[in-house]
Amino acid sequence: MNEQRIAISADHAGYELKENIKKHYPSVEFGDFGTNGTASVDYPDFVHPMATAIQKGEFDYGIAICGSANGVSMVANRHAGIRAALCWMPEIAHLARQHNNANVLSLPARYLSNEEAFRIIDEFFSTDFEGGRHQARVDKIEC
């Protein structure tokens, strides 16, 4: 995970988890797309710029955080080439990378402890895409 450039964004519900992730992985180059506090904000304002930066190749992967992770996943997945996966346990993160070549990890901050989130992140970023039969399926995702 150390050599990857990771974009990260969150709304007010995910702000504290976002900050804890950055502290837990000090050697990672994070591009922080906000938010920068716990005041109520609209998650699309932060996820759209993050997803665009990944599309442009400025970052390899992304982490998007909100209360349930549904909203941030929906926004990120509107962008061509972005495959955001809502992950609430390490096994889901493993399969999202291995079978779906997910490039954005969406985390539900209201339902995870910091330690659970770190385990999910570790699994996501240590799992490679398997390719093979899964590549044909991934190729069919774009409209």
Q: State pLDDT tens for residues 126-135.
A: 999 988 889 8
Is position 124 within any domain?
no
Q: How far does Cα 4 stand from its chain's mean position? A: 13
Is position 90 within any domain?
no
Is position 92 within any domain?
no
- 67, 14, 92, 103: CA torsion to nearest 10: 120
Count of CB atoms within 10 A of residue 137's CB?
11
Is position 16 within any domain?
yes
Residue 2's pLDDT is: 60
Q: How many domains in the chain?
A: 1
Residue stretches of the chain with pLDDT short of 50: none
Q: Which of 24, 87, 99, 143 is catalytic?
A: 99
Residue 23's pLDDT is: 98
- For this structure, is 87 an active site residue? no
Residue 1's pLDDT is: 62
- For this structure, is 79 an active site residue? no
Structural domain that includes position 21: 7-28+43-64
Is position 51 within any domain?
yes
Is position 22 within any domain?
yes
Is position 15 within any domain?
yes
Residue 116's pLDDT is: 98
Stated pTM of the model: 0.96
Q: Which of 66, 79, 94, 134 is catalytic?
A: 66
Residues 6+ apart with CB under 8 A from 100: 83, 85, 134, 137, 138
Residue 3's pLDDT is: 74
Q: Identify the CA nearest to 93 among candidates 69, 57, 75, 71.
A: 69
Is position 126 within any domain?
no
